[in-house]
A and B are shown apart, each in its own frame.
Chain A
């Protein structure tokens, strides 16, 4: 299957990508790992006039821990999250969940920023991002802003990103003592998307009571959502 024709431009820095985005307007799409955009273009569900290839922007491809925060660049692949020692020790549920995304070939190229910006209702990362209370850094012409995961997922394939903005990094909490998290997924056998996926994070106090609980569900609605009644029932 052949996509509609388009103009291809490679951006070598965030600055360059933002300039191109503002210059090209709403007819432009960013290409990161391409594993959401290219299939959609081949099916002609998406026909951008301009494709801005950001996959080579090195500044977006690193993982860094800063105290109790774990910063993951938008272009970090699922495979890197799956295998990173830093992620495994700081936020193990994230690498466990990344290992369940698609298949190894998809994980070799798909990126965390791409997955979140695409906001597929059955994707895995949105559940983790929402459950863990991550923050999404969006950068636009007037600088960067931080969007809480609770405000980021607006609807089916719809996020709080504004026109001209791109995700530059995602920040997760480092899971400390007393906090545990898990992701369970019932995968579609062909696509490996979640028929349903549930991410949960629980923090216990010294007496074994649940201080805080966050539960996020993907695959079972137009967009990822928090199971607030479950959270309330488990707290205490």
Chain B
């Protein structure tokens, strides 16, 4: 049985009918065609699918779309404003905080939530905050540098 939901994604309100078993990540990718949010492990571990749900970083593979009814979602596509990259996106570019880039949207969304709560983090705090986001390329060095740089440029 389909459920009618109303979800605001990156500031735009969408109404849709979804099967209860549709995951939020599927809804974003397959219904709204916002493919910046990636499916990595699909077992709630890697964090590639991280989005903000009412401002809180959430693995969108571990939430049903029907649960997003009435919520505000922000995906990686929602960070740049008026064609300008968000400071986090810019810092990842400048510090080369990625290689293949598959994990990057999730890492950035987690970092976004983290920096809101801790605008001036130490390296150790950044590493701890990103424990739910796996990168299999970079060894995290440049990711941590990028988050640090973003924190400095945002403060």
Q: Are A8 and B66 in contact (CB under 8 A)?
A: yes
Q: Does B3 have its Cβ within 8 Å of any Cβ on chain A?
A: yes
Q: Are A191 and B45 in contact (CB under 8 A)?
A: yes
Q: Which of B1, B21, B61 has the most CB of A within 10 A?
A: B21
- Please name all residues of chain B whose beta carbon is closer than 8 Å to the beta carbon of A108 when the two chains form the complex: 56-58, 113
For A34, give its contact among B21, B42, B63 (CB under 8 Å): B63
Q: Does B94 have its Cβ within 8 Å of any Cβ on chain A?
A: no
- Please name all residues of chain B whose beta carbon is closer than 8 Å to the beta carbon of A66 when the two chains form the complex: none
0/1 string, B1-13, CB within 8 A of A gives 1: 1010000000000
Q: Does B140 have its Cβ within 8 Å of any Cβ on chain A?
A: no
Stretch of A98-106, A162-170, A172-180, A223-231 on the interface side:
A98-106
Q: Are A190 and B62 in contact (CB under 8 A)?
A: no
Given the known A-B contacts A2-B21, A35-B44, A191-B45, are A103 and B63 also in contact in the complex, defined by CB atoms under 8 Å? no
Q: Does A29 have its Cβ within 8 Å of any Cβ on chain B?
A: no
Q: Are A39 and B43 in contact (CB under 8 A)?
A: yes
Complex: chain A residue closest to B134, CB-CB: A190
* A31, B131: Cα distance in complex, Å: 25
Q: Are A104 and B3 in contact (CB under 8 A)?
A: no
Size of A's binding interface in residues, CB under 8 A = 29
- Please name all residues of chain A whose beta carbon is closer than 8 Å to the beta carbon of B42 when the two chains form the complex: 1, 42
* A35, B59: Cα distance in complex, Å: 10
- Please name all residues of chain B whose beta carbon is closer than 8 Å to the beta carbon of A192 when the two chains form the complex: 131
* A3, B21: Cα distance in complex, Å: 6
Complex: chain B residue closest to A3, CB-CB: B21
CB A30 to nearest CB in B, in angstroms, measures 13
Complex: chain B residue closest to A9, CB-CB: B20
Q: Does A24 have its Cβ within 8 Å of any Cβ on chain B?
A: no
Complex: chain A residue closest to B70, CB-CB: A56
- Please name all residues of chain B whose beta carbon is closer than 8 Å to the beta carbon of A43 when the two chains form the complex: 43
Q: Which of B44, B47, B114, B128 has the most CB of A within 10 A?
A: B44
Q: Are B20 and A8 in contact (CB under 8 A)?
A: yes
For A104, give its contact among B63, B64, B67, B132 (CB under 8 Å): B132
Q: Does B123 have its Cβ within 8 Å of any Cβ on chain A?
A: no
- Please name all residues of chain B whose beta carbon is closer than 8 Å to the beta carbon of A3 when the two chains form the complex: 21
- Please name all residues of chain B whose beta carbon is closer than 8 Å to the beta carbon of A35 when the two chains form the complex: 44, 62
* A197, B59: Cα distance in complex, Å: 25
Q: Are A104 and B19 in contact (CB under 8 A)?
A: no
* A190, B43: Cα distance in complex, Å: 11
- Please name all residues of chain A whose beta carbon is closer than 8 Å to the beta carbon of B37 when the two chains form the complex: none
* A51, B62: Cα distance in complex, Å: 14
Q: Are A106 and B21 in contact (CB under 8 A)?
A: no
* A205, B23: Cα distance in complex, Å: 54
* A3, B26: Cα distance in complex, Å: 12
Q: Are B44 and A5 in contact (CB under 8 A)?
A: no
0/1 string, B105-146, CB within 8 A of A gives 1: 000001001100000000000001101110000000000000
- Please name all residues of chain B whose beta carbon is closer than 8 Å to the beta carbon of A55 when the two chains form the complex: 67
* A3, B58: Cα distance in complex, Å: 19
Q: Does A109 have its Cβ within 8 Å of any Cβ on chain B?
A: yes
* A103, B127: Cα distance in complex, Å: 11
List 10 A-B residue pairs with CB atoms under 8 Å apart, sorted by A's residue number: A2-B23, A8-B64, A38-B44, A39-B62, A42-B43, A104-B57, A104-B110, A105-B59, A109-B59, A190-B45
Chain B residues within 8 Å of A, Cβ to Cβ: 1, 3, 19-21, 23, 42-45, 47, 50, 56-59, 61-64, 66-67, 110, 113-114, 128-129, 131-133
Chain A residues within 8 Å of B, Cβ to Cβ: 1-8, 31, 34-35, 38-39, 41-43, 51, 53, 55, 102-106, 108-109, 190-192
Sorted from nearest, which 4 A-B pairs have the closest CB atoms?
A103-B132, A8-B20, A105-B132, A103-B131
